Amino acid sequence: MTARCGARNFGFLSAALGVALMLAAVLVPARNAAAQGLDVEKVFWCTEGKIGDQTKDQCLAARENILDNCTSCHAITPIVKAQKTPDQWSALLQPHRIKVPDMADADFAEVGKFLKAHYNPQNPVPKLPPELDKLGLPPA
């Protein structure tokens, strides 16, 4: 019985590793942005006057947290295509809080401010490279 469970777990781990390796270049866009043709400054902009109530430093830190944390589970596509209201972003972010237990509450709040200021019905959907664009639609 133990050997069977071990074999089953090995099969699962092998499959998971294979999927992780196939998607690695897409799931870490901050590290591979140039190779993918992604202009981080256009998609995750931190231009004064266009970042809500964040300072430029807060915007840059929130952007880094998004690229370092959110993309460990999914591509950036559903993030930047999601034109949500502030209430919709809050509802989406609430269950995500437990997925980043090492992120300080203040940093998580800044991520929420970033998303609300950038990806809402008042802003156009940023243009993504075709490889990223086809990866997903906004989350439900």
Asked, for residue 32, whether it belongs to a domain, the answer is yes
Asked, for residue 39, whether it belongs to a domain, the answer is yes
Query: 16 is in which domain, residue-wise?
Result: 2-133
What is the per-residue pLDDT for 7? 44
Asked, for residue 88, whether it belongs to a domain, the answer is yes
Asked, for residue 140, whether it belongs to a domain, the answer is no
Asked, for residue 139, whether it belongs to a domain, the answer is no
pLDDT tens digits along 59-111: 999 999 999 999 888 888 888 998 999 999 999 999 999 999 999 999 999 99
Asked, for residue 91, whether it belongs to a domain, the answer is yes
37 φ/ψ sector (left φ>0, alpha ψ -120 to 50, else beta): left
Neighbours of 73 (CB within 10 A): 10
Asked, for residue 70, whether it belongs to a domain, the answer is yes
Asked, for residue 116, whether it belongs to a domain, the answer is yes
CA 90 to chain centre: 15
pTM: 0.72
Q: How many structural domains is the chain composed of?
A: 1
pLDDT tens digits along 9-64: 444 444 444 444 344 444 444 444 444 577 888 899 998 778 889 999 999 999 99
